[in-house]
Amino acid sequence: MQIEGYVQAIRDDLVRVAAVGDESTARAAELLAVALESSLARRLQEALGEAALELSSQLDNGRIEVRIAGGDPELVLVRDEEPATAEPADEAFTARITLRLPESLKARLETAATREGVSVNTWLVHMLHHAAEPRSHSGGSRRRLTGYGRS
């Protein structure tokens, strides 16, 4: 996202509004616009940071980060890494179920399991285990904004 365009639009708006006055008013508005440029950019970045925090609080498995690359911010979805949980050693795979599903879904499950380097059975058990876990929602708690900058 290029903030420069938004800052320039606000600067142009200020100059346009000041143009209804005399020449000295227009000149003063132009000087103010130049002086406010960095402050406007910083305020827009702060607004993006607040938006990222708000969106992050709505995600169950991740967060939104604001990253600055070459002066321009970008919003990035970062999924929380889940530790590769092995099934509890004291719990053997003894229960069986028969699952009927469309061939196309079976093919997608096989692809996903292969991508993870596990069997379809292990992949399904892991997904079901994760889906059955109670989710803790932290109510109104705010998350810390994290990220990095690059020039």
CATH of domain 82-134: 1.10.1220
Q: What is the amino acid identity at position 129?
A: H
What distance in Å separates the CA atoms of residue 58 and residue 143, rounded to the nearest whole number? 11
Per-residue pLDDT of the chain (151 residues), as tens digits, is 677 888 888 888 888 888 888 888 888 888 888 888 888 888 888 888 888 888 888 888 888 888 887 777 888 888 877 655 555 555 677 778 888 888 888 888 888 888 888 888 888 888 888 888 776 555 444 555 566 665 5
Per-domain residue ranges of the chain: 1-80, 82-134
What angle do helix axes 120-132 and 103-116 make, rounded to 10 degrees? 90
At 125 the three-state DSSP class reads helix
